[in-house]
Amino acid sequence: MNLQISIQPNLKLALRDPEASALGRKIIREGIVLMCQLGYEQFTFKKLAEAIDSTEASIYRYFENKHRLLLYFLTWYWNYVEYQCTVSMHNLNDPAVKIKKIIEILTGGLPSWADTSDIDKSALQDIVIAESSKAYLTKEVDDINSKQLFKPYKDLCHHIAIVFSEYNPKYAYPHSLASTVVETAQFQPFFMAHLPSLTDFGGEKGNTRKVSEYLESLVFAALSAR
Amino acid sequence: MNLQISIQPNLKLALRDPEASALGRKIIREGIVLMCQLGYEQFTFKKLAEAIDSTEASIYRYFENKHRLLLYFLTWYWNYVEYQCTVSMHNLNDPAVKIKKIIEILTGGLPSWADTSDIDKSALQDIVIAESSKAYLTKEVDDINSKQLFKPYKDLCHHIAIVFSEYNPKYAYPHSLASTVVETAQFQPFFMAHLPSLTDFGGEKGNTRKVSEYLESLVFAALSAR
DNA sequence: TGGAAATAATAGTAATACTACCATATTTTT
DNA sequence: AAAAATATGGTAGTATTACTATTATTTCCA
């Protein structure tokens, strides 16, 4: 089973396929680590070029700008989550069990099994938590959306919404609940680490189990109401 | 009753009180309109200076940088929401009614009654929706938090959490639910406008009633479960 | 009316976000 | 194996951003 196929990001994101060359792969591998360290705002192509012993101009031949590189990272991540969900639910029938599995995956609680890529998934997840909103909270959002670049994220939410509807076909807000859950799965760990008074979870780093429990109780309550 | 008193932002946010001078007031009034138009990334002090017929250097005497100006706007907004909540709930006893009122205010569905300020609240609300996450999704978050600059936001969430606990003292996640609701009240309208497939609400602009209904059902389900 | 403070006007710096150009290395095609 | 195409490196350069500094002028207010 080749994992690469299913997590291949949209090629429109990049000017040329970064997985097809040594330099491209270095841009992705090291880019993830560096953006995680510096944060999106402080991250620059110049710094990345220094880190991988290349030049700014060479990186620009792969990605128009750092926002596209961020989108590439996020696309990789959402495709990976989607893939994990698909595989995990392959032989599950009970929607309740499926929902629990989805939440476990979303909060990163599922140990990522070995795959062929050497992406630093922990760094990638930190990027998703801290930067993913910046993918769409921009004036370019409609333009980017019209190029289908949010498709993996929207598809994931849609598939989650379908499982919610399976559990309770009468529920009126499956898509809103799906996007709320996906967003909350990023925000609550961030709050836990930096603004703990916005949560009810102890400061123990990586207390993702608590976040899962909260989300489970929220989802099942919403889907079971009245 | 003087509204100004209760929505005075933390003075540590600004180098000098912008409400105390004509230039300062222009920075705030026009700054809100311009940041709403351009978005946080494209907004610059230089552009604002041109718009108010002043200079970059003069604006820097009021705010260290544009991130602090954004924080000032958000602080104003959260103080305003907190004030609206306080006044609205003054003679309410039923926690269920209080919760409905809070959600109505959060989604901006409550017509803002006349107050003495001439702030463009519609533009301010657009800024909150599109930019508020950028206040804390930065590597400076711990530094800013240690200066208490998120206090109004955290206080608001805390007060909402208290009302949730009033409704159901046994509920285990009042703070997480409060921050989830406040965040979702911003994200769902954004999705509605730009990524409608992430919601279950028709594209009719300003369909805040639907967002309120979704949030009400979510909150009451969560607080009433089992 | 004199002094302090605020603002304007101008200049300047380092960094960012690119674009352009050319030489060289590598890969692909024939 | 030679020729052609493509990828990369190296260097430069531009416009904009995010500031800081200096001095002159205006406004405030005691």
CATH code, domain carrying A81:
1.10.357.10
Which residues does nucleic strand C approach, with CB less than 7 A? A 42, 44-47, 56-57, 60, 64-67; B 16, 21-24, 53-58, 61-62
Q: What is the pLDDT of residue A116?
A: 66
Q: How far apart are CA B141 and CA A34, in angstroms?
A: 18
Residue A133 falls inside a structural domain: yes
pLDDT in tens, A68-118: 999 999 999 999 999 999 999 988 999 999 999 999 999 987 666 656 678
CA distance A198 to A181: 16
Q: Supply the DSSP symbol for A108.
A: T
Q: Which residue is nearest to nucleotide D12 (CA to C1')?
A: A57
- Nearest-by-CA chain A residue for B159: A198
Q: pLDDT band for A5, please (50, 70, 90 cuts).
A: very low
Nearest DNA or RNA nucleotide to A64 (CA to C1'):
C18
CA proximity to B150, closest of A133, A197, A39 = A197
> Which residues have a Cβ under 8 Å from the Cβ of B75 and sit 6 or more positions away?
B9, B10, B13, B149, B152, B153
Q: For B74 and D16, how far is CA from C1' in angstroms? A: 27
B81-101 pLDDT, tens digit each: 999 999 999 889 999 999 999
Return the amino acid letter for B60.
Answer: Y
Contacts of B42 in chain A (CB under 8 A): 139
B22/D30 CA-to-C1' distance in Å: 21
pLDDT of residue B206: 65
- Residue A32 C-alpha from the chain's centroid: 13
* Closest nt to residue A40, judged CA to C1': C16
pLDDT tens, residue by residue, A177-222: 999 999 999 999 999 999 999 999 976 666 789 999 999 999 999 9
Q: Which of A187, A212, A215, A224 would best serve as a mutation to test chain B binding (most B beta carbons within 10 A)?
A: A187
Distance A20 CA to C29 C1' (A): 19
Find the domain containing B54 and state its range.
Answer: 3-224
Residue A85: CB atoms within 10 A of its CB come to 20
- CA distances B126 to A125, B54, B131, Å, are 29, 25, 8
**A138-147, A208-217, B105-114: range with lowest mean pLDDT:** B105-114
In this complex, the residue of B187, B197, B221 whose CB is nearest that of residue A225 is: B221
Tell me the nt nearest to B42, Cα to C1'.
D17
CA distance A7 to A18: 13
B138/A41 CB distance under 8 A: yes
Q: Which residue is nearest to nucleotide D17 (CA to C1')?
A: B44
Q: pLDDT of B10-48, one tens digit each?
A: 668 999 999 999 999 999 999 999 999 999 999 999 999
Task: Give the residue carrying structure tokens 């989604």.
Answer: B107
> How many domains are there within chain B?
1
Residue A5 maps to a domain = no
Length A23 CA → C30 C1' (Å): 28
State the residue for tokens 């706007």. B73
